[in-house]
Structure 1
């Protein structure tokens, strides 16, 4: 796996796990720690869930309470706290998107490998600007108000620039249901340019696209998901799921393994990368 920098999201994930392990090793409950630190219980819960950052002074105080005296271990955890508080390019967008999506953007920025399954559309990192504008839902459970659509498009383009054109881009593997290639999102011209764009992107090192053809039979995996893998084994894989009713980050190892199993099965049923690109170009030609 390619090496990756350590961004604020990864720093926070590592810190929350390390602090929780240190508390449990000290045989202290969350209630006891909250009382000793003169905090609300909810503050400690948010710190250990990674939903908020924690100051370096608070980290030192927690480690002292937990009896952690090793200077190197303390220094490492203090550095994690610093990393978790650094401002990333996407920090300014956090108030404009749902919390789960904001968390996903942070994880995506630090991922070494991204594995997508998309049953009805193309992944955001591979979308043209016009396709991105057309595919953002204007109605339904995840609808975006008309006034915010342009902001979402700009966020998507910023993600593409940061992830695809950075110094250390991740490996990207995409499985597209053939339905995504034939759904005329935004009109014939927009879809044609989207198909050509993805075919061109496949020529880049580190980007692989496979199509799950209609001839593969019934597809029972109806919702899109993304598996995010990280360079350091300490940073467990996660899955981002977006359905009609929920957007969710899943990091339970057993559940992540289940998604990986599904992805591997879909890959085995899909066309080869070369045949997939050929199909993309053929459908684009059929659109005129």
Structure 2
């Protein structure tokens, strides 16, 4: 029986593209890189295109051939190779989680840091189940109640990355004040609970929350929300945009303008201390 074809998972694609980038930096051709491993060029090409696997020990040998000496680079890429074929918990939700969403969850799980500018909604990693349910139902009007419930479960499960022992993802969330005024006519307590959730989450060492005030000066974020996702070097960063048609990614050097924009957005927002005070005041007012 022939071997099953390799499925190009998002981790394998990221590994392949990073290895290709390092090969180009080393000014080696595919033939030269393959020869250093005792391979033929087509195998090297398949690894870079994510249609073939590479073992962690082979990654280490290849990096040495590329002249890489940074132990952090070795650790990051060996880990990526080790986990490339692993199935994530989110794959049990295949019926409701799109391939693009599954890819993002995998990327989020591997991230080192996420900076999210959210002008309209509370970021998914900080949402309560009730808040998530109301908004998912409103956005995805074609979903059944069971599918909405499953998507809420997924959103809640994603939040575990903020408290994983030893390798928690750092989140810096900048939320426009307007998003804090969202109201739910049928269940007015939802927003009060959500505001409390923000205050509780901000106590985690991995979470920083800022509020962009209604009277802020102009800043790059007025063009729309985005998430800047940072990975261990040398895996390239990415930026995510979301809309009704799905997700759009920007990768590598093209993320530089967004990193600069994040600094300006942070500077335009309230300080962390003032942000939490503003949220606490809104929470207290919502009890009346």
TM-score bucket (shorter structure):
0.7 to 0.9
How does 1:1-288 map onto structure 2 within 5 Å? 9-10=10-11, 12-19=13-20, 25-26=28-29, 48=48, 50=50, 54-56=52-54, 81-139=81-139, 143=141, 145-146=143-144, 147-161=146-160, 163-167=161-165, 168-185=167-184, 187-217=187-217, 221-230=222-231, 232-253=232-253, 255-288=254-287
Offset at residue 180 of structure 1 (A): 0.7
Q: Judging changes above 3 Å, is the alpha-carbon distance between structure 1 residues 179 and 144 closer, same or farther for their aligned structure 2 residues?
A: farther
Deviation at 1:282, TM superposition (A): 0.8
Task: Name the structure, 1 or 2, with higher relative contact order (CA <8 Å, separation 6+).
Answer: 1
Residue-by-residue CA offset, 1:116-135 (whole Å, 9 max, x unaligned): 11111111111111011111
Cα distance, 1:226 vs structure 2 = 0.9
> Taking structure 1 as reference, are residues 284 and 9 closer, same or farther at Cα in structure 2, changes over 3 Å only?
same
Cα RMSD (Å): 3.5
Shift of 1:244: 3.9
Q: Secondary structure in 2 aligned to 1:282?
A: helix
Cα deviation code 1:96-138 (max 9, x no counterpart): 3222221111111111111011111111111111011111154
- Rounded Cα–Cα distance in structure 2 between residues aligned with 1:120 and 1:71: 43
The one-character-per-residue Cα deviations of 1:143-162 (angstroms, maximum 9, x if unpaired) are 5512411110011111112x
Q: Output the CA distance in 1 between the equivalents of 2:21 and 2:256.
A: 23
Structure 1 pair 165–79 and aligned structure 2 pair: CA distance change class (3 A): closer
Q: Could you say what secondary structure the match of 2:89 adopts?
A: coil
Cα displacement (A) at 1:194: 0.2
TM-score (norm 2): 0.74
Gaps of 5+ in 2: 1-8, 32-40, 67-73
CA distance in 2, matches of 1:269, 1:150: 37
User: Following TM superposition, by how much is the alpha carbon of 1:261 offset from its aligned partner in structure 2, in angstroms?
Assistant: 1.7
Give the secondary-structure state (helix, strand or coil) at the position aligned to 1:261. Answer: helix
Q: 1:81 to 1:269 in 2, by over 3 A?
A: closer
Rounded to whole Å, the distance in 1 between the matches of 2:16 and 2:227 is: 24
- The alignment's TM-score, normalised by the length of structure 1, stands at 0.74
User: The residue matched to 1:132 in structure 2 has which SS?
Assistant: helix
**Change in CA separation of 1:48 and 1:138 when aligned onto 2, cut-off 3 Å:** farther
2: CA distance, partners of 1:160 / 1:195: 16
Contact kept in structure 2, 1:119 and 1:222, CA below 8 Å: no
Q: How many residues align?
A: 254
Higher mean C-alpha displacement, 79-88 vs 163-172: 79-88
